[in-house]
Structure 1
Amino acid sequence: MGTSCGSRTCASHAEETQREEGGEDRRLKDQLRRIRHKLLVMSGKGGVGKSSVAAYLALGLSQRGHRVGLLDADLHGPSIPNILGISGMFQVDEEKNLVPHKLHENLEVVSIQCLLEDPDSAVIWRGPVKHGVIRQFVSEVQWGDLDYLVIDCPPGTGDEPLSVAQVIPDAHAVIVTTPQEVALSDVRKSINFCRKVHLPILGLVENMNGLVCPHCGESIPLFGSEGGKRTAERMNVPFLGSLPFEPSVVEAGDSGTPLLGNSDTPSSFLEKLDQLLSTVQERCSPPLPEEKTEETAYKDQKEVPPMEKESFKVAVPTANGLLCNHFGHCERFAVVRVQEGRIVSLEELTPPPHEPGVLPRWISELGVSLVIAGGMGQRAIGLFQERGVRVITGAPPLDPATLVNSYLQGTLVTGANVCDH
């Protein structure tokens, strides 16, 4: 009898735990649905001005009329409160949600530092605890409706960026570097990290591009020149823009008085920041395509509608980790499994020898229902269609995770079939 009672108690506890976890998942999904764009600001190396870039992205976007949240996910070395001049503990609402610090009408901020009575206290947490805190900073914060959530992560490819990629599957990475090679070698690791965890990359920002001489107005390349742009081209990621090394930005960060809204802000910094903000907005919200009928839109594939199936597989031909334009002669195939609108796995497979009809049969036997390709002959397209596999051609040469995520978000824009024969 005692055993039976104990079993019922354990079962009840398990059911209660499941209900609580289910409620947390619902709160998280509900909150994420109210945030239009999520930007994860990260870097492979410390000291590149990542937090300053995150702060000025949030400030600049909010001054353009967008509702913005800034989440400081650097749990061990939070610097956003110091940069923005924020102090004091968080308030809690009636539903026990944290109320963010309101910097001004369009910008709200959350940081672990605002939960510590002593800002100099060391946070000594392992991975699972940090994951839980980042999850709570999204689901249990009174964010409301946001146009942008900017997330400042610590340098490197550790627990925090991985947790953000898992908690916010539709986040896009903004990777910050300086022009010098020691930073660029680490940023290449960040790019590969994003590709491994299927985190789409919005683009690369080159900070500290040059010091503008206050006397002659010429730019002095303190840390080299255009290394970030070259790395973006080499790694096939978008280049968002550059920001100059500006001593007044450093002073403003130390004093907690950000430069935006200050009449003394150097014009060189404002001009570069304005260009960066415009590029970020453009990449987050691509221009609407020309008005077309459903038939013509599908025919020329200018805008690709996502599949409605809850679970399916996508195959992407690759070479050196990127989409290969020559479908029948690619090195490998990335087979990406999608479930409930997000990537859950990616497997690299070596295809069988290229012979007529072999690849369509092999891919369909893998359970694939969609192929994203750069180019494919009409005969091969017909063979796929006979097996119930849809084909999209004219895709850009990006990594498979970025292509599939763009497809899922309805933003995959394709061009001409580069192998239409």
Structure 2
Amino acid sequence: MSESCNHDCSSCGSSCSSRTQPQSLLAQPHEGTHVKHVIAVVSGKGGVGKSLVTSLMAVQMRRHGFKTAILDADITGPSIPKSFGITGRATGDETGIFPVVTKTGIEVMSMNVLLEDAASPVVWRGPVISGAVKQFWTDVMWGDIDYMFVDMPPGTGDVPLTVFQSLPVDGILVVTSPQELVSMIVEKALKMSEMMNVPVLGLIENMSYFECPNCHERVEIYGPSRVDESAQKYGISHTAKLPIDPSFAAHCDKGDIEGYPADYLADTAKFLEGVLGK
């Protein structure tokens, strides 16, 4: 029954019942933008390496020959430009905004490339932040992109809801760490993805272990890994583990994440390519 009528539409022959069909909330990207796959990178809490995983995945897919992009949806805590050594500001014209391009050709849009001072805080309420994220999709001239990674803020608030409703998200990667209540975090992510009809593609455990540079023994500083156990419990087919590596921080501080030589997420990149295609 339509909200505007007070009878059983199915028995009266009226066409008002057609207005009850659900409307898509997907926002149209900028004219000329064609993004094949959108993957959201999420976490249950901050500080587990979500932005690091986002950066590494974009770099890895770029190394595989794909055109990649990062939409930094963490408006109040953007760190993507720092990792890539981006210091310039985004430009645009009357038709839209141009994303900033990294040294290897990864397109990036982040709040920090729009601010005159990157250290200025963004003190906005949720709806305004959500609107900015949506504009990163609708007003930015991305062009042709094979894989876009969305660096999500932690939790399940306004911004994740906006991303899942407005962007054609193909799936999510959940980032966790051994010292978390892994099962609870994964369960929250699963329930959120189920509500939004978005599949969980993989579970990535950051700070999983430390490898001694001398003897190469692996030490699980934060306790035994439970990522495979959690993945099996919740039916997640792919997992990956990132070590505690001082080189991560060094390359990010230098703005040279693209120059980091290790390829811990190479299998994840191949998995996404196999599941989603080129």
Q: What is the one-letter code of the residue matched to 1:214?
A: P
Q: CA RMSD in A?
A: 2.2
Q: Choose which of 255, 259, 262 in structure 2 pairs with 1:261.
A: 259
Q: What is the one-letter code of the residue matched to 1:137?
A: F
Aligned-pair distance for 1:94? 4.3
Aligned-pair distance for 1:26? 7.4
Aligned-pair distance for 1:184? 4.4
Match of 2:162 in 1: 163
Q: What SS does the aligned partner of 1:215 have? A: coil
Give the TM-score normalised by the residue count of structure 1. 0.57
Q: What SS does the aligned partner of 2:70 have? A: strand
| Separation in 1, partners of 2:85, 2:104 | 16
Aligned-pair distance for 1:197? 2.3
Match of 1:90 in 2: 90
Q: What is the one-letter code of the residue matched to 2:126?
A: G
Match of 2:12 in 1: none
Q: What SS does the aligned partner of 2:147 have? A: strand
Aligned-pair distance for 1:67? 0.5
Q: Which has the larger radius of gyration?
A: 1
Q: Structure 1 pair 125/136, CA: closer, same or farther in 2 (3 Å)?
A: same
Match of 1:283 in 2: 275
| Separation in 2, partners of 1:103, 1:256 | 10
| Separation in 1, partners of 2:217, 2:47 | 24
Q: Structure 1 pair 285/69, CA: closer, same or farther in 2 (3 Å)?
A: same
Is 1:109 aligned to 2:101, yes or no? no
Q: Structure 1 pair 142/254, CA: closer, same or farther in 2 (3 Å)?
A: same
Q: What is the one-letter code of the residue matched to 1:189?
A: K
Match of 2:247 in 1: 248
Aligned-pair distance for 1:161? 1.2
Aligned residues of 2:70 and 2:108 also touching (Cα < 8 A): yes
Q: What is the one-letter code of the residue matched to 1:285?
A: G
| Separation in 2, partners of 1:26, 1:47 | 30
Match of 1:43 in 2: 43
Q: What SS does the aligned partner of 1:238 have? A: coil
Q: What is the one-letter code of the residue matched to 2:201?
A: L
Match of 1:74 in 2: 74
Is 1:145 aligned to 2:131, yes or no? no
| Separation in 1, partners of 2:185, 2:146 | 30
Larger proportion of helix: 1
Q: Structure 1 pair 279/94, CA: closer, same or farther in 2 (3 Å)?
A: same
Consecutive unaligned residues in structure 2, runs of 5 or more: 1-25
Match of 1:28 in 2: 29
Aligned residues of 2:203 and 2:240 also touching (Cα < 8 A): yes
Q: Structure 1 pair 98/182, CA: closer, same or farther in 2 (3 Å)?
A: same
How many residue pairs were aligned?
254
Q: Structure 1 pair 225/285, CA: closer, same or farther in 2 (3 Å)?
A: farther
Match of 1:379 in 2: none
Aligned residues of 1:63 and 1:106 also touching (Cα < 8 A): no
Q: Choose which of 253, 265, 274 in structure 2 pairs with 1:273.
A: 265
Q: Structure 1 pair 195/188, CA: closer, same or farther in 2 (3 Å)?
A: same
Q: Structure 1 pair 124/61, CA: closer, same or farther in 2 (3 Å)?
A: same
Is 1:215 aligned to 2:214, yes or no? yes
Match of 1:234 in 2: 233
| Separation in 2, partners of 1:31, 1:199 | 25
| Separation in 1, partners of 2:191, 2:179 | 19
Consecutive aligned runs of 4 or more in structure 1 exceeding 4 Å deviation: 29-32
Deviations 1:126-167 (A, max 9, x none): 222122211110111110011011110111111111111011
| Separation in 2, partners of 1:27, 1:160 | 17
Aligned-pair distance for 1:261? 3.4
Match of 2:10 in 1: none
Aligned-pair distance for 1:110? 0.6
| Separation in 2, partners of 1:128, 1:26 | 16
Aligned residues of 1:177 and 1:183 also touching (Cα < 8 A): yes
Deviations 1:8-35 (A, max 9, x none): xxxxxxxxxxxxxxxxx87438567x11
Aligned residues of 1:180 and 1:227 also touching (Cα < 8 A): no
Taking the TM superposition and a 5 Å limit, the aligned residue runs for 1:18-417 are 27-28=28-29, 34-95=34-95, 97-104=96-103, 106-258=105-257, 260-261=258-259, 265=261, 269-270=262-263, 272-285=264-277
| Separation in 2, partners of 1:277, 1:90 | 28
Q: What SS does the aligned partner of 2:259 have? A: coil
Deviations 1:173-223 (A, max 9, x none): 111111234354323212211112222221211122211110111111112
Aligned residues of 2:203 and 2:236 also touching (Cα < 8 A): yes
Deviations 1:351-391 (A, max 9, x none): xxxxxxxxxxxxxxxxxxxxxxxxxxxxxxxxxxxxxxxxx
